[in-house]
Amino acid sequence: MRKTERYRHFTDYFTTHFPEPETELTFANPYELIVAVVLSAQCTDKRVNLVTPALLAQFPTPAHLAAASAEEIFPFIRSISYPNNKAKHLAGLGRMLAQDFGGEVPASIEELQRLPGVGRKTANVVVSVVYNQPAMAVDTHVFRVSHRLGLVPKTATTPLAVEKELVRHIPEILIPKAHHWLILHGRYICVARQPKCAQCPLTSWCKYYADVISKQEIIPKKTAPKVVKGEINNESGTTK
Ligand code: SF4
């Protein structure tokens, strides 16, 4: 199947079935989003959503965060991954937002990446979600699912290479949505260890399904279990 066809299947399916995908992080403004995205590195959105209400009640603006030390922030985020580092990042983030950006979250990827704890992925999430710009944040789900679907080649071995490939092929207007489509599909269906292909509506054009999964499901005739009358056959007869 040609790549353009795969992209057409991808955008057709998701625009029809998930026309308005959204981030699962809870936030009310750009500041709250950037705090949540910084906290979400190596952590689930669900867990982040558990800590942000109390954190943001205590530090409701960049100015409040700027006035706090990492030690004061730590107790609010102790239950998430890497709390020490993230507390330091948030303290620095608050200071830079307050001092260099007038308390506003900048809208450019370059400026966002100057903020402590903000890499290219976080910057892309912010400009995509807040400012609806055609930026593709590549996290572990986007990376895995886009490879499995055959949207990107095997040679795209870095998040940046995957980002460039996806941005080149997906219509600009759909890029912010495509980011969520790939994340949500990876989170709930095309999970890392054992993709739930039996529940997946994309099998007819998924490259990984065609190349790997469909072949696993074929039962070779030679190994098909023999059923002998009067015997209980415990073999499943399926290949793993
Ligand atoms: S068919 Fe399987 S491997 Fe392909 S996208 Fe669906 S769950 Fe993932």
Q: Residue ranges for the binding site?
A: 190, 197, 200, 206
| Local confidence pLDDT in tens for the 240 residues of the chain | 898 999 999 999 999 999 999 999 999 999 999 999 999 998 999 999 999 999 999 999 999 999 999 999 999 999 999 999 999 999 999 999 999 999 999 999 999 999 999 999 999 999 999 988 999 999 999 999 999 999 999 999 999 999 999 999 999 999 999 999 999 999 999 999 999 999 999 999 999 999 998 888 554 544 444 444 433 333 333 333
- What is the model's pLDDT at position 220? 52
Angstrom distance (rounded) from CA 72 to CA 51 = 14
* 48 CA → ligand 1 middle, Å: 27
Angstrom distance (rounded) from CA 215 to CA 137 = 32
- What is the model's pLDDT at position 138? 95
CATH of the domain at 98: 1.10.340.30
Whether residue 67 lies inside any domain: the answer is: yes
On whether the CB atoms of residues 207 and 144 are closer than 8 A, the answer is no
Whether residue 225 lies inside any domain: the answer is: no
The alpha-carbon radius of gyration of the chain (Å, integer) is 22
* 63 CA → ligand 1 middle, Å: 45
On whether the CB atoms of residues 115 and 95 are closer than 8 A, the answer is no
Active site residue 139: yes
Whether residue 48 lies inside any domain: the answer is: yes
- What is the model's pLDDT at position 215? 86
- What is the model's pLDDT at position 217? 58
Whether residue 116 lies inside any domain: the answer is: yes
Closest C-alpha to ligand 1, atom 2: 197
Whether residue 54 lies inside any domain: the answer is: yes
- What is the model's pLDDT at position 72? 97
- What is the model's pLDDT at position 228? 40
Catalytic residue among 139, 177, 211, 215: 139
* Token pair of 132 as six digits: 């609806």
Angstrom distance (rounded) from CA 216 to CA 209 = 9
Encode 51-85: b = buried (16+ Cβ within 10 Å), e = exposed.
Answer: bbeebbeebebbeebbebebeebbebbeebeebee
* 220 CA → ligand 1 middle, Å: 23
On whether the CB atoms of residues 146 and 182 are closer than 8 A, the answer is yes
Whether residue 79 lies inside any domain: the answer is: yes
How many domains are there within the chain? 1
Whether residue 58 lies inside any domain: the answer is: yes
Whether residue 35 lies inside any domain: the answer is: yes
Q: Which of 209, 214, 217 to mutate to test the pocket of ligand 1 (most atoms within 8 A of CB)?
A: 209
Q: Which domain holds residue 78?
A: 30-129
Catalytic residue among 86, 88, 121, 177: 121
- What is the model's pLDDT at position 15? 97
Output the pTM of the full model: 0.84
